[in-house]
């Protein structure tokens, strides 16, 4: 935001050069939004913060398409085109672009593999990498000038308040983070069933993890009852994982959007949100890797209930 800025005079100046005589009302509204937003006078929702509800732009076969959905599609397309552009045709001696991608993947592999375990890593790594880069770029999309600050609205006290932004970060919409959490948990369920098996999962939840050879019977069997009860508590924690994953990501990104709009995108907070976007992408994928590793990573060769409790 620029203090002392005259929005009405600025609109009149640009209108005389850019708009045809007697423009339609729709063109006038779009021009008003673009002029004020690009001038740096666009601020958040009229209530003083970013509207938590995504704006519906249009519908396809009765299904609403919101501005956050459009952003997610654009970011997905940019990831595909960017990787394709950098790698092109993979070579034994990598090009500069291929070396950049390989270095990023190698760094993430060193981070995730010890947590997930070598047994389930081939299936888990593509999911973790895709989620990391998708969430990272979605978080950073809110730092692009115009995202969340260009759209329909009205002038209040000399400042333009956006009520319907054309685009907004997908992770600033709770529906987007819920979808990410659901996808992550579906992948988690498939991987642990494929690489651990139902028997190991049930043992990990309800089995007695104590060593029977080191404990007497009157201690070991009561422990079995305790571990069985704790298993139901663990089931509850598994059921709320999609909620905690989605709320954590949504809260940080949505809160960052409000902070940036309230402070006028000043550099210290802009830099802070850059770090927050990276950390939240890392936290989301690290938690998913931990969930997988808790069941699948029992060490080399330890994939049965009899061996897991050692």
Cα torsion through 139, 142, 145, 147, rounded to 10: 130
Q: What is residue 265's predicted lDDT score, i.e. its pLDDT?
A: 74
**Is 59 part of any domain?**
yes
The dihedral built from the CA positions of residue 166, 168, 174 and 179, taken in this order, carries a sign that is positive
In tens, the pLDDT along 147-179 reads 766 767 666 666 666 666 777 888 888 888 999
Q: What is the mean pLDDT of the chain?
A: 78
Phi, psi of 307 (to 5 degrees): -95, -30
- Distance in angstroms (rounded) separating the CA atoms of residues 13 and 123: 58
Q: How would residue 208 be classed by pLDDT, with cut points 50, 70 and 90?
A: confident
Vertex 39: Cα angle to 37 and 42 (nearest 5): 35
Report the range of poorest mean pLDDT among 110-119, 234-243, 296-305.
Answer: 296-305
pLDDT in tens, 174-200: 888 999 999 999 999 999 999 999 999
Is residue 2 assigned to a domain?
A: no
Highest mean pLDDT among 28-37, 141-150, 266-275: 266-275
Structural domain including 298 reads 7-308
Tell me whether residue 147 is in a domain.
Answer: yes
* DSSP secondary structure, 18-55, as one string: HSPSS--HHHHHHHHHHHHHHTT-EES-TTSS--SSPP
CB crowding 155-165: b at 16 or more within 10 Å, else e: eeeebbbbebb
pTM for this structure? 0.74
pLDDT above 70: percentage of residues in the chain:
74
Count of domains for the chain: 1
Give the pLDDT of residue 45.
44
Query: How does 35-59 read in b/e, with b if 16+ C-beta sit within 10 Å?
Result: bbbebebbbbbeeebbbeebbebee
Question: Is the residue at 256 inside a domain?
Answer: yes
State pLDDT tens for residues 59-113.
888 888 888 888 888 888 988 898 888 888 888 888 888 888 889 999 999 999 9
Mean local confidence (pLDDT), 27-33: 48
Say if strands 56-60 and 42-43 run parallel, antiparallel, or are unpaired. Answer: unpaired
CA–CA dist 34, 151 (Å, integer)? 7
Residue 1 lies in a domain: no
**In which band, very low, low, confident or very high, does the pLDDT at 262 lie, cut at 50, 70 and 90?**
confident
The per-residue pLDDT for 97 is 84
In the block, residue with structure tokens 């902070």: 259
Asked if residue 264 lies in contact with residue 149, where contact means CB atoms within 8 angstroms, the answer is no
């Amino acid at each position: 935001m620029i203090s002392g800025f005259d929005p009405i005079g600025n609109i009149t100046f640009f209108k005389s050069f850019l708009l045809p005589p007697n423009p339609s009302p729709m063109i006038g509204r779009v021009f008003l939004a673009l002029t004020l937003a690009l001038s740096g006078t666009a601020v958040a929702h009229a209530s003083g913060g970013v509207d938590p509800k995504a704006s519906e732009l249009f519908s396809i076969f009765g299904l609403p398409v919101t501005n956050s959905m459009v952003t997610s599609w654009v970011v997905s397309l940019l990831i595909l085109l960017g990787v394709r552009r950098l790698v092109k045709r993979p070579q034994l001696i990598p090009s500069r672009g291929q070396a950049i991608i390989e270095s990023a993947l190698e760094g993430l592999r060193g981070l995730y593999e010890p947590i997930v375990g070598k047994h389930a890593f081939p299936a888990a790594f593509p999911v973790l990498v895709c989620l990391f880069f998708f969430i990272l770029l979605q978080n950073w999309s809110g730092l692009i000038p115009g995202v969340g600050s260009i759209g329909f609205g009205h002038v209040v006290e000399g400042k333009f308040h956006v009520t319907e932004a054309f685009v907004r970060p997908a992770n600033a919409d709770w529906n987007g983070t819920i979808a990410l959490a659901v996808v992550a948990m579906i992948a988690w369920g498939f991987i642990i069933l494929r690489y651990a098996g139902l028997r190991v999962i049930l043992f990990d939840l309800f089995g007695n993890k104590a060593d029977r050879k080191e404990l007497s019977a009157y201690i070991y069997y009561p422990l079995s009852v305790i571990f069985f009860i704790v298993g139901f508590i663990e089931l509850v924690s598994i059921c709320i994982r999609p909620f905690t994953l989605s709320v954590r990501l949504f809260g940080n990104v949505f809160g960052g959007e409000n902070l940036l709009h309230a402070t006028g995108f000043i550099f210290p907070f802009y830099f802070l949100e850059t770090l927050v976007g990276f950390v939240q992408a890392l936290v989301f994928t690290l938690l998913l890797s931990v969930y997988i590793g808790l069941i699948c990573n029992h060490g080399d060769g330890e994939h049965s209930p009899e061996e897991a409790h050692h």
